[in-house]
Structure 1
Amino acid sequence: MRNRGLVSGTLAFFAGFAAVALFGTTALRIGPLLHLNLVEVSWLVAIPTLTGAFLRIPFSLLVDNLGRKTILLQLLLGLLGLLGIIFTLMHLNSLSSQLIYYLLLLFGALAGTGISTFSSGVTYVSYFFPQKEQGKALGIFAGLGNTAPGIFTTLLPFALSYLGLVYSYVAWALFLSIMILIYILVSIDPPFLHFLKEGKTRKDAEALSKSMGLDIVPSHSLSRSLVKALRSPRIWALVFMYLTSFGGFEALTEWLPLYWKSFLHLTPVEAGILTGTIYSLLTAVVRIPGGWISDRINGELVSTIAYLTMIVGSLVFLFAFSLSLAVVAEIIIAVGMGMANGAVFKLVPRYSPTAVSGASGLVGGLGSAGGLLLPPIMGYVATLLNFPASFLVFTILAIISLVLSVLLLRASEAMRA
């Protein structure tokens, strides 16, 4: 039962995250055709990430009532977005430029719903595992799911070369349709929700869940779950920490191709390999041992080590005026971010065991907003100083996150003393 929950949640997140892999390329190609200015192109590029970030909160809460149907709804909305983009691209010559732009904004936002499967998936998977196994389970879920950007960024040039833009979207839509079918066949409701659907009272459902070793159950109400998370200072600390590590991961996925091409003068293919295959995949995969180690020792200590590692990586970037040193910096910061991501979501259900849906929605939704906020800030710093100086943003964020980790670690040790 636990494995089915983990496998179906992981596959759904991987598929949802992969659904928007082509959209950035679409925005850049369509911009000149529609004579869009920089602001309009920026909105087009950002819209899937925007909806993917802020829809995490409501969809995470819905898991407490709808169970596995919540993620299915998100995947179907993502598929609808892909189909809408295909329709729009097939009618470029028959629709007005303004209509095409608004349609791409609409369908891009729908496709971005797939990204929001992260927080609903965290809530869904959490209900299948006890506290002592949360780090490993959520590390596998998020680590494997987060490989989607790296894998599809690597595949993207080949898909575009052989299939073209429209048929690349057709291939993506077929892939997502197959994954939705697999999810329908494999997924099951978490035990607590399954017991409620059988007609058992909440008290009996809690007792049966605890007899299975499951010590995390949904809140009595959606509003109570969110309010409880909002009132927790420790959850707000995790929000900032996750903004640094996962929001930073999203930001660097956008920023590094520009860094490689503009500062170190690499080709687009080389920039794609360094960003997608090395940085993105490494960050995602390291999240798995990050969560597993957090189960063995504690998440606060792992996050402390992780943010120290991030600081080292960002400082190396400041002095990386050669490709070899820049790659070393990229690897160091990727390891730090991956470990931090795994540790933070080990702590979410521990700090908020009766409000996991609200807490994971807040941490995942607001934390991922870093992917929207950080690239413009880095661009501003690079304009004022130089490209390497842009990584000072991560030095500052990682120092603040390190301080928060140490404070959480001391509080945890004091409680155990």
Structure 2
Amino acid sequence: MATPTSTTPESTTLPSSASSLVVRPGRWVDGWDAEDPAFWQSTGRRIARRNLGWSIFAEFLGFIVWQLWSIVVVMLPSAGFALASGEQFWLISLPSLVGATLRFPYTFAVARFGGRNWTIVSAGLLLVPTILLGIVVQNPDTPFGVLLLVAALAGVGGGNFASSMANITYFFPQREKGWALGLNAAGGNIGTSVAQLLVPIVVTLGAAGTLNIQLAGWMWVPLILVAMWGAWRFMDNLSTAKADVAGAAAALREPHLWLMALLYIGTFGSFIGFASVFPKLIADQFPAFSTFQVGSASLTLAFLGALVGSVARPYGGRLADRIGGARMTIAAFALMIAATLALILTLPLGSFWIFLACFLVLFLATGIGNGATYRMIPSIFAARGAATAGEAHSVGTQRKASAALGLISAIGAYGGFVIPQVLNASQAATGGYTLAFWGFIALYAALFAITALVYAVPRASLARHRI
């Protein structure tokens, strides 16, 4: 078996048992073939797992930064800031709008700059919104426009998901992509929960009745520096990772991409939207339960929502493998409808614990739906390929499916902006959130029907496959 060649000492961290593996300066790796069983067993798996670990860590921090303002906003009044409810909703939702938009260029950045190189850069960009947050929240007279700009910059954390997923997909063989991408996604999603758990504790711990709110940004700087160092030291660039512009263009012409993007707005968009706004909803509806004192520190239970949704995501994918993605997505939307209806009916009771339970079921359903809808995408494109097997195609089914995963994840993230803004509009119009929740039920019912009619019933356009 050939030994990989290298021109730099830094490449000695790579195993030397790979066949035709060549390592060039800057940790560029040529000859990567994860589909070769011998290569994968001897060398590929170890390298891929090492890259996956640091990718998860960097993406985890990206989600933290992306959702920092969801918890900081509810603390600003205690720090002396006088913000209207509508202004708070804009600070919560704008990072999601920016992050969703950045997912499009971030998807292609890995092929352009290299997975390792872009992870270093994208992690480094997280320093900008965290440091600026630590500065601007120290002065209650900071203009709202400045706060809005810093919140918008936090959107760079949302873009990390797309580049991280695009990078990791190149490292793993087809038979292991699902689990690797599921771990990568869940590891990132859980960053929202960690931010909402730790920020209230850190900013109040030892603060003697005040808030060290600037620590909400500063506390993540050392971890970001570790992520940059880890990416530089241990990750690799694969020369086989190529930007597939033709695949993306072909996927955009596929009607099922737009249907799946709509479904993903309903599942992931609901998850990230409700996760970002949950601390504010608790503060508005049940101010006495907004925080709990644990010694000298404060704790909010809002983190439980994002935690439940994040943990449920991989299991949604696994259940979809067993009983079908469409069936699991239908079940997820049914559960989302039931949880939202229960929330509306029980709100007049004024019980925080029932409110929390309804939302946790809703988050559970969104997590299951995230995994199930994401699992549907390759199945749909495989079925489309079978249905059009006799037609001439310039772009293969697998290429279109791969491009569709990135595009759908970007479009679905816009739900993180839409959900808070719908709640904002409902509060401005009616003084409460009930109207918005009825609107969400109507949306989930429509998505339930689309999934059932298009994907749960065998159709000629999908080669009579049940997705």
| Partner of residue 66 from structure 1, selected from 96, 103, 113 | 113
2:306 aligned with 1:280, yes or no?
yes
Counterpart Cα distance in 1 of 2:455 and 2:307: 29
Contact 1:132 1:295 in 2 (8 A): no
Task: Give the match for residue 6 of structure 1.
Answer: 52
Counterpart Cα distance in 2 of 1:378 and 1:182: 40
Task: Give the match for residue 201 of structure 1.
Answer: none
Q: Name the structure, 1 or 2, with higher relative contact order (CA <8 Å, separation 6+).
A: 1
2:95 aligned with 1:48, yes or no?
yes
Deviation for aligned residue 1:389: 4.8
Counterpart Cα distance in 1 of 2:118 and 2:324: 31
Task: Give the match for residue 394 of structure 2.
Answer: none
Task: Give the match for residue 121 of structure 1.
Answer: 164
Compared CA separation, residues 30 and 305, structure 1 to 2 (3 A): closer
2:225 aligned with 1:177, yes or no?
yes
Deviation for aligned residue 1:349: 4.3
Compared CA separation, residues 84 and 257, structure 1 to 2 (3 A): closer
Task: Give the match for residue 182 of structure 2.
Answer: 139
| Partner of residue 316 from structure 1, selected from 316, 334, 342 | 342
Compared CA separation, residues 150 and 26, structure 1 to 2 (3 A): closer
Counterpart Cα distance in 1 of 2:261 and 2:277: 22
Deviation for aligned residue 1:156: 1.2
Contact 1:294 1:343 in 2 (8 A): yes
Task: Give the match for residue 197 of structure 1.
Answer: none
Amino acid at match of 1:84: L
2:266 aligned with 1:244, yes or no?
yes
Contact 2:200 2:300 in 1 (8 A): no
Matches within 5 A, 1:282-297: 282-297=308-323
Task: Give the match for residue 189 of structure 1.
Answer: 237
Compared CA separation, residues 247 and 147, structure 1 to 2 (3 A): same
Counterpart Cα distance in 2 of 1:67 and 1:55: 17
1:98-152 Cα shifts (integer Å, max 9, x gaps) = 5xx5554444333320221112222222223344444322222111211111122
| Partner of residue 416 from structure 2, selected from 356, 359, 371 | 371
Compared CA separation, residues 288 and 273, structure 1 to 2 (3 A): farther
Contact 1:318 1:389 in 2 (8 A): no
1:163-190 Cα shifts (integer Å, max 9, x gaps) = 7122442221112111222233332235
Task: Give the match for residue 354 of structure 1.
Answer: 399
2:347 aligned with 1:304, yes or no?
no
Q: Which has the higher helix share?
A: 1
Decide which moves more: 233-242 or 401-410.
401-410
Counterpart Cα distance in 1 of 2:85 and 2:437: 24
Amino acid at match of 1:276: F
Aligned positions, number: 385
Question: Per the alignment, in what secondary structure is the counterpart of residue 146 of structure 1?
Answer: helix
Task: Give the match for residue 439 of structure 2.
Answer: 393
Amino acid at match of 2:301: L
1:303-345 Cα shifts (integer Å, max 9, x gaps) = 2222222122122212223344333322321221101111222
Deviation for aligned residue 1:30: 6.2
Counterpart Cα distance in 2 of 1:134 and 1:67: 19
Compared CA separation, residues 304 and 128, structure 1 to 2 (3 A): farther
Deviation for aligned residue 1:38: 5.9
Contact 1:78 1:112 in 2 (8 A): no
Contact 1:133 1:295 in 2 (8 A): no
Compared CA separation, residues 397 and 272, structure 1 to 2 (3 A): farther
Contact 1:60 1:357 in 2 (8 A): no
Larger Rg over CA atoms:
2
1:268-289 Cα shifts (integer Å, max 9, x gaps) = 1159643212x11000000011
- CA root-mean-square deviation: 3.2
Amino acid at match of 2:443: L
Compared CA separation, residues 357 and 275, structure 1 to 2 (3 A): same
Contact 1:257 1:272 in 2 (8 A): no
Q: What's the TM-score, normalizing by structure 1? A: 0.80
Identity of aligned residues (%): 23
Contact 1:285 1:338 in 2 (8 A): yes
| Partner of residue 230 from structure 1, selected from 235, 245, 252 | 252
